[in-house]
Structure 1
């Protein structure tokens, strides 16, 4: 396994590849994304353990969506079973993915608790009369999201490294962080491009909705539009991994080896 250093403009290409691949199999990839969301919603409703179990499954679910993208990118139809690819590659890697889930859960809980300790009781943001219907985000939520940033860096490539390269959970976190830092320019352009896509599409959709029937219509079409954009974003994650690492084999999403070509080190 070898780290690739890519130019900053590759980040824009990752967005294009994500959108293009999504449009190859829009129904399948949308269905898998909503299936993932439904499972998370159901699990989160479980008393006491719901939130913990849901967090533990985040790395495995991320890998499942990446495996679905790998299938669609190769011209194959991603079946629902691809979502559980993390648990179909043998006991050792399934166990490693669960360990990764535990580490993610602990990190997320620590970030949330630390945010609560630093800010304390959530404070209501100041809003103008025109903003009363807008979503409100308090200081504690913003701090918690900020504290989750290192977690995102550590786990960005980790599930794929565990599944496709057979790397141990702890090492996968280290290699993920190194890859993100070494390819910061590409990931920055990737994030900026997606932000621009969300803003432009949101503006166009809300404007059309307002013209057709006012605020109610705009809101009714905005939510499914946002969910579709998030599904496209999840599709593009696979390409950030594929182009950041090289390996010899080119297997399917359930195979033990990595999905890219290149030298092994």
Structure 2
């Protein structure tokens, strides 16, 4: 994929096209996108439970795993044969910069934790599993702190892997792209929140019964979110990169082509 490092400025509604384009890629090969996304999540979870070294390992592996998922979506978009070489494209030649980016992510994560500790009083006695209200409050407190880190890390892994940019340039061009497309990101996150939080909450409110049928429907809803929405959002990162940095040409993943 040719990369134009003059980041394009897209209309705000492009944010929704990232989601719909991600779903279009997911539909082409649901097992591939689901397997890649679930592998990414499981590896991050298992690495994070390693004593002492867990957060460090997660930081190092996160950009690398992100690029593998990105390459999977890229293969589907370009309708190429699925193979290990395609999934590893850009990793070996740019491993050093990707690892460096991982440490940037680690530093940002530690800063988020520090700021949260300084700004918010921890709950007395800790947070129990049953304290759902406190859990939601903590997520709401973390969201404005972690969102800048998410945006900083949005494009650099793919700029490094696809354009072989060094760390500094990938962070610079990634930040410029985010600023130029702030409206699209607002629409994107609003759409993702609607599909991942708002719609499920509405359905759960309707299915408040304790009967077996309601329980099965709630279970199916959770599975749909896990095995369809999460891979769709993972593929949408590729779509956002392609639209912002690639020339404005029709592509099979564009919703207009579906």
- Where 1:148 maps in the other structure, the secondary structure is helix
**Residue by residue, what CA displacement relative to the aligned partner does 1:11-35 show, whole Å, maximum 9, x if unpaired?**
2211111111101100111111111
- Give the count of matched residue pairs: 240
Contact 2:55 2:106 in 1 (8 A): no
Counterpart CA distance in 2 for 1:195 and 1:138 is 14
**Whole-angstrom distance in 2 between the partners of 1:103 and 1:173:** 10
* Matching residue of 1:185: 183
Q: Structure 1 residue 115: deviation in Å?
A: 1.0
How far does the alpha carbon of each residue in 1:40-84 deviate from its partner, in whole angstroms, 9 at most, with x for none? 222122111112211322222222211110111122354466554
Q: Give ranges in structure 2 of 5+ residues lacking alignment.
A: 248-258
Q: Which has the higher contact order (CA 8 A, sep 6+)?
A: 2
Q: What residue is the counterpart of 1:222 in the other structure?
A: 221
Is contact 1:104–1:151 with CA below 8 Å preserved after alignment?
Answer: yes
8 Å CA contact 1:28, 1:77 repeated in 2: no
Question: Normalising by the residue count of structure 1, what TM-score does the alignment of the two structures yield?
Answer: 0.79
Deviation at 1:218, TM superposition (A): 4.2
User: What's the offset of the Cα at 1:221?
Assistant: 2.4
Native 8 Å contact 1:162 1:172 kept in 2: yes
Q: Identify which of 163, 166, 169 aligns with 2:164.
A: 166
- Name the TM-score, length of structure 2 as normaliser: 0.81
1:4 aligned onto 2:12: no
Is structure 2 residue 51 aligned with structure 1 residue 44?
no
Q: Quick check: 228-237 or 52-61, which moved more?
A: 52-61
Whole-Å separation in 1 of the counterparts to 2:163 and 2:218: 43
Q: CA deviation at 1:123?
A: 5.5
Report the Cα distance in structure 1 between the residues aligned to 2:200 and 2:81, rounded to whole angstroms: 27
Equivalent position of 1:115 in the other structure? 116
Counterpart among 17, 21, 36 of residue 17 in structure 1: 21
CA distance in 1, matches of 2:109, 2:184: 26
In the TM superposition, what whole-angstrom CA distance separates every residue of 1:68-120 from its partner, at most 9, and x where no partner exists?
101111223544665544533x2xx1100000001111111111122112224
Q: 1:113 to 1:140 in 2, by over 3 A?
A: farther
Provide the residue aligned with 1:32 in structure 2. 36
Structure 1 stretches of at least 4 aligned residues deviating more than 6 Å after TM superposition: none
